[in-house]
Amino acid sequence: MPSATRASSLGVAAWLSCLALAASPAVAEEKEHPIVAQVKAAVKDPAKPFTMVLRLQVKDGDGERFEAAFAKAQKDTRKEKGCLSYDLNRDLKNPATYVVYERWRDVPALESHLNSAHIKELLKELGTILNGPPEAQLLLPVGD
């Protein structure tokens, strides 16, 4: 794969750690967020834009609850300086499957996002809604 289109998957352990950190804010402030650590390890230049695509499965009957929780976080996330795009999509064939498309100005923007109150609240709620950890992929835009 050409280096300009390099992609990387984030580990399940990072997502499980993410949910655990969201439940204990004191610990989250002491350590680097596991998702930030994984992104830093994957991207060549943390000062450049990147895209993160998340595929999530929600438990049966929790779609509306998930969409409502995400909508609250989405509104505040889109106001963040480093957020270039933050969109939720539902799979047409499987309504319990969602894809989140996130594009960030740089790694520090993602780090700020993950430490925000609205995302910590969303992550706490996701722990009871998701049917397993999300699948994640990192992408680098071509030509930027």
Mean pLDDT across 96-118 = 96
The span from the CA of 104 to the CA of 18, in Å, is 18
Q: What is the pTM of this model?
A: 0.81
Between 91 and 5, the higher pLDDT residue:
91
Model pLDDT for residues 14-42, shown as the tens digit of each residue:
555 565 555 555 544 557 888 898 899 99
Nearest to 69 by CA among 28, 128, 138: 128
Mean pLDDT across 95-118 = 96
pLDDT at 139: 94
Whether residue 2 is predicted with pLDDT greater than 50 in this model: the reply is no
Mean pLDDT across 109-113 = 96
Four-point Cα dihedral 125, 129, 133, 134, nearest 10: -90
Question: Residue 38 burial (CB < 10 Å; 0-12/13-18/19+)?
Answer: buried
Classify domain 3-139 by CATH number. Answer: 3.30.70.100
Kindly report the CA angle at 102 between 32 and 6, in degrees rounded to 5?
A: 80
pLDDT at 28: 45
